[in-house]
């Protein structure tokens, strides 16, 4: 066995060949405002870092060194400092190393005499982590925000309650939060962002994108690639997306500002009801298939040869035809215009998969 130096005079015993290392670090004395706990962990190529917390925010950024560097400051909400230390001591921070994976976890006490049955202790804190750019991540926390920047590796995130933020990541992202917003900027890959009770905003990036919300507004701007967006109740806006667009809302307004040239198929649907507005480049050719159950379809394009006034259903090839634009709403107005002259400005190349 080879001992690894740790703070507080503890040791980590590494067994060979299984290379299993389990550390229980009882940092009960660390409270808000106290000096954070720090450690460095070896991270050769192919390392995966798994973090599973019962509370606390996680921030991950990239560094050039082949190691995982951490600064941890844990906190608890109790009636006294002694009570806070008790809560933290019953939920130790554990490190486990096996093969090419590091696991960092906090256990949840099974019971607490001062809380109702089934209630979780009010734990929190901040976990700041720096990793090599090729380190894969699997992050979970019950309550807290997650922020990941700059990786060239796959990322999986699941949060019960908290906001998520991703920027400049090249890899497959799978993320979900039970309640909280999601912000994404300049990420390349086949990515999925799900918020059960908050909005999602995506700016720039490339690849394939799936966005879903249980009841929030979705905004996708200057993304290159296919986009699928769905919200149970809320508006969706596509601003200069260079790829096929599929947007569905239960009730809410759908808006698409289409770049020049038209990059692909467009399908927008408000199943329960809501207006739809599509603004296309001037002179573009497309196949229009628009229908509203209660409302009207208005096409404000000089080349259109259909009825001059509003109608409930309109199917027509405009400017000789082209990509299909299919629009549906249960109740609301559909308005199609062609005044856009602004090209897509996002310079991020389309990812190859």
pLDDT digits (tens, 9 = 90+) for 255-278: 999 998 888 999 999 999 899 999
Give the model confidence (pLDDT) of 58-89 as tens digits. Answer: 999 999 999 999 999 988 776 677 877 777 77
Tell me which of 19-33, 155-169, 171-185, 250-264 is least confident: 19-33
Give the rounded percent of residues in the chain with a pLDDT score beyond 70: 79
**pLDDT value for 24:** 42
The residue ranking higher by pLDDT, 22 or 113, is 113
Please state, in angstroms and rounded to a whole number, the distance separating the CA atoms of residues 82 and 214. Answer: 40
CB of 324 within 8 A of CB of 336? no
**pLDDT value for 132:** 98
- Give the pairing type, strands 48-53 and 136-143: parallel
CB of 207 within 8 A of CB of 189? yes
Instruction: For residue 334, give the 3-state DSSP assignment.
Output: strand
Please state, in angstroms and rounded to a whole number, the distance separating the CA atoms of residues 143 and 337. Answer: 45
Name the pLDDT band for 26 (thresholds 50, 70, 90): very low
Please state, in angstroms and rounded to a whole number, the distance separating the CA atoms of residues 39 and 59. Answer: 15
Average per-residue pLDDT in the chain?
84
pTM, two decimals, is 0.85
For the cut 50, the answer to whether the pLDDT of residue 188 exceeds it is yes
């Amino acid at each position: 066995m080879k001992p690894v130096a740790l703070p507080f005079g503890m040791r980590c015993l590494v067994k060979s060949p299984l290379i299993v290392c389990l550390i229980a670090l009882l940092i009960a004395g660390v409270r808000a405002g106290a000096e954070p706990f720090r450690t460095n962990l070896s991270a050769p190529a192919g390392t995966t870092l798994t973090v599973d917390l019962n509370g606390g925010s996680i921030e991950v950024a990239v560094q050039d060194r082949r190691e995982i560097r951490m600064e941890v400051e844990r906190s608890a909400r109790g009636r006294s400092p002694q009570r806070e230390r008790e809560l933290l001591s019953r939920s130790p921070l554990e490190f486990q190393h096996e093969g090419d994976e590091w696991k960092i976890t906090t256990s949840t006490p099974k019971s607490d005499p001062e809380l109702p049955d089934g209630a979780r202790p009010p734990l929190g804190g901040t976990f700041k982590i720096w990793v090599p750019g090729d380190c894969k991540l699997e992050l979970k926390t019950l309550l807290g925000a997650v922020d990941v920047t700059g990786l060239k590796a796959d990322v999986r995130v699941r949060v019960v309650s908290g906001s998520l933020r991703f920027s400049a990541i090249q890899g497959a992202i799978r993320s979900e939060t039970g309640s909280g917003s999601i912000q994404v900027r300049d990420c390349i890959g086949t990515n999925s962002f799900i918020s059960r009770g908050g909005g999602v905003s995506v700016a720039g990036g490339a690849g394939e994108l799936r966005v879903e919300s249980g009841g929030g507004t979705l905004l996708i701007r200057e993304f290159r690639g296919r986009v699928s967006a769905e919200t149970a109740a809320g508006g969706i806006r596509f601003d200069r997306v260079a790829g096929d667009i599929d947007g569905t809302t239960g009730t809410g307004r759908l808006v698409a500002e289409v770049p020049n040239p038209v990059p692909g198929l467009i399908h927008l649907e408000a199943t329960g009801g809501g207006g739809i507005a599509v603004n296309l480049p001037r002179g573009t050719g497309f196949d229009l298939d628009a229908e509203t159950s209660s409302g009207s379809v208005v096409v404000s394009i000089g080349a259109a040869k259909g009825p001059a006034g509003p109608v409930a259903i309109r199917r027509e090839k405009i400017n000789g035809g082209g990509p299909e634009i299919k629009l549906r709403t249960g109740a609301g107005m559909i308005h199609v215009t062609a005044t856009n002259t602004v090209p897509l400005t996002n310079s991020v190349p389309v990812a190859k998969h």
